[in-house]
Amino acid sequence: MSTPIKILSVFGTRPEAIKFFPLVHALNADSRFDSRVCVSGQHRGMLDQVLQIAGITPDHDLDLMQPDQTLDSLTANLLTGIGHVLDQEKPDWVVVQGDTATAMAGALAAYYRKIPVAHVEAGLRSGNIHHPWPEEVNRKIVGSFAALHFAPTETAASALKREAVDPAAIHVTGNTVIDALHWITGEIEQKPELAAGLADLERRFAGKRIIGVTSHRRENFGGGMEAIADAVRRLAERGDVAMIFPVHLNPNVRKVMNAQLDGLDNVALIEPLDYPHFARLLDICTLMLTDSGGVQEEAPALGKPVLVMRETTERPEGVEAGTAQLVGTDADRIVAEANRLLDDPDAYAAMSRAHNPFGDGQAVGRIVEALAKG
Ligand code: UD1
Ligand code: UDP
């Protein structure tokens, strides 16, 4: 029997963990691989929520998160911390996902040691280095030297080819977030209690249409966050809707949302939901307002209209499929577009068909086979 290929999966935030766990499950179950996991702890509570539900115990946990961390100190700590783990583990491959500081620094630490990098969710581009910030540059850095690029869509693969990436190194796989969504949906079907924690809110808001809200982007800090809060407050004045808003743990988000929205009748400001409960929110909502990347991918798969509170998106597939609409961070525009969907059944119906532009839930199988071939 040949020596298994040693893979070190490196991640550290909530969305990376969600998009990584199906791959970690598959690598752990496949004897062709010796699978190791290093978490940076860039996020703490929100990462642990995912590790717990997915049953993953990391081999290395750098526990790096600092309150209100800056990009430079975070990146410096990531680079040295992950570098030490690489020196210890000496993997054949390092796998990173997406565009966070952990993904960028993990890839760079591998490159400094001439360890090949495989990039999951490669090729997303907004074309604007300030939106999303700093993610657009993080993923370009990883894409500039990765040896394998797992592009979720043909659009992402085309962006990589435009940047002169070798087409033989690009695999169109679908996005692993759809694999994760299928997995969690199956878990909830078997154990409904996993997602039963919203029952009190569901009773409190019975008869109202639910609007789910999330917001955390760094480029929206300050004026953008204030405008999003203003839009949520104004929409909540409608008697027929209720807003459920799991507030990101970033203090720059919490101070604005708590100051503007705490205590309002039709607004539930709640702690970040674990993944099964967030899946439940996606299921019961009429509409999502978000600046999240992952939510833009999940909502179309479930046929839930999404108003994307950003100026640009590197995920145009949701907009092209008709389920997502870019509304920016102008409060008047957000309120007007949400009211249009709430008041015009034809407009709502046009946006609420399920599409799967981001994948068929089989991305992990394709990634594993490509890793096995090297
Ligand atoms: C990070 C990523 C962003 C990703 C987002 C997903 C970078 C630069 N940013 O943004 O790409 O879209 O995660 O959510 O990689 N905090 C906690 N507990 C947690 C998580 C965060 O207290 O579990 C607080 C801490 O004070 C921390 C701060 O939030 O310092 C910011 O966390 P950080 O990971 O730097 O940035 P995010 O805005 O979460
Ligand atoms: N999510 C979650 N609980 C929440 C909010 C979001 O589990 O309270 C999940 C959501 O389903 C999606 C991911 O977190 O898979 C998105 O993470 P986030 O918005 O923090 O980051 P982004 O995707 O913008 O990088």
- For 89-104, the pLDDT digits (tens) are 999 999 999 999 999 9
Longest dimension (CA), the chain: 66
Indicate whether residue 73 lines ligand 1 (CB < 6 A): no
Residue-level pLDDT at 353: 84
Which of the ligands is closest to the CA of residue 244?
Answer: 2
In the reported structure, the alpha carbon of residue 24 is separated from the centroid of ligand 1 by a whole-number distance in angstroms of 22
**Total-model pTM:** 0.98
Mean pLDDT over 215-243 rounds to 95
| Ligand 1 atom 8 nearest Cα | 101
Residue 355: is its pLDDT beyond 90?
no
Ligand 2 within 6 A of CB of 315:
no
* pLDDT for residue 354 is more than 80: no
Q: Measured between alpha carbons, how far is 235 from 255 in angstroms, rounded to an integer? A: 20
At residue 1, does pLDDT exceed 70?
no
Tell whether the model's pLDDT for residue 105 goes beyond 80: yes
In this prediction, residue 374 carries a pLDDT of 86
As a whole number of angstroms, the distance between CA 47 and CA 19 comes to: 12
Query: By three-state DSSP, how is residue 261 classified?
Result: helix
69 lines ligand 1 (CB under 6 A): yes
Among this protein's residues, is 99 annotated catalytic? yes
Retrieve residue 363's tokens: 């991305």
Cβ-Cβ contacts under 8 Å for 298 (sequence gap 6 or more):
177, 178, 181, 282
- Of the candidates 235, 120, 99, the residue with the CA atom closest to the CA atom of residue 174: 120
User: How far apart (Å, rounded) are the C-alpha atoms in residues 315 and 299?
Assistant: 12
Verify whether residue 216 is a known catalytic residue.
yes
Q: Does the active-site annotation cover 135? A: yes
Rounded mean pLDDT of the chain?
A: 97
Amino acid at residue number 364: V
84 catalytically annotated: no
Q: What is the mean pLDDT of residues 52-78?
A: 98
Residue ranges and CATH numbers for the domains of the chain are 5-175+360-373 (3.40.50.2000), 198-352 (3.40.50.2000)
Name the residue with the closest Cα to ligand 1, atom 35: 69
Question: 3-state class of 69 per DSSP?
Answer: coil
Q: Is 43 in the pocket of ligand 1 (CB under 6 A)?
A: yes
Beta carbon of 298 within 6 Å of any ligand 2 atom:
yes
pLDDT at 185: 96
Closest approach atom of ligand 1 to CA 15: 6
Residue 121 annotated in active site = yes
Among all bound ligands, the one having the nearest atom to the CA of 246 is 2
Tokens representing residue 273 in the block: 């939901």
Closest CA to 155 of 194, 199, 113, 124: 124
Given strand 267-270, what is the order of strands in its sheet? Answer: 267-270, 241-246, 209-214, 287-290, 306-308, 324-326
Mean of pLDDT values over 40-48: 98
Q: What is the mean pLDDT of residues 285-314?
A: 95
Compute the C-alpha angle 30/36/39, nearest 5°: 135
Give the pLDDT band of residue 2 (cuts 50, 70, 90): confident
Q: What percent of the chain is predicted at pLDDT more than 90?
A: 96
Average pLDDT over residues 18-45: 98
CB-based burial of residue 199 (10 Å sphere; 0-12 exposed, 13-18 middle, 19+ buried)?
A: exposed
Ligand number with the minimum distance to the CA of 294? 2
Taking the CA atoms of 172, 361, 131 and 96 in sequence, report the sign of the dihedral they define.
negative
Q: What's the rounded mean pLDDT across residues 125-138?
A: 96
What average pLDDT does the segment 59-79 reach?
98
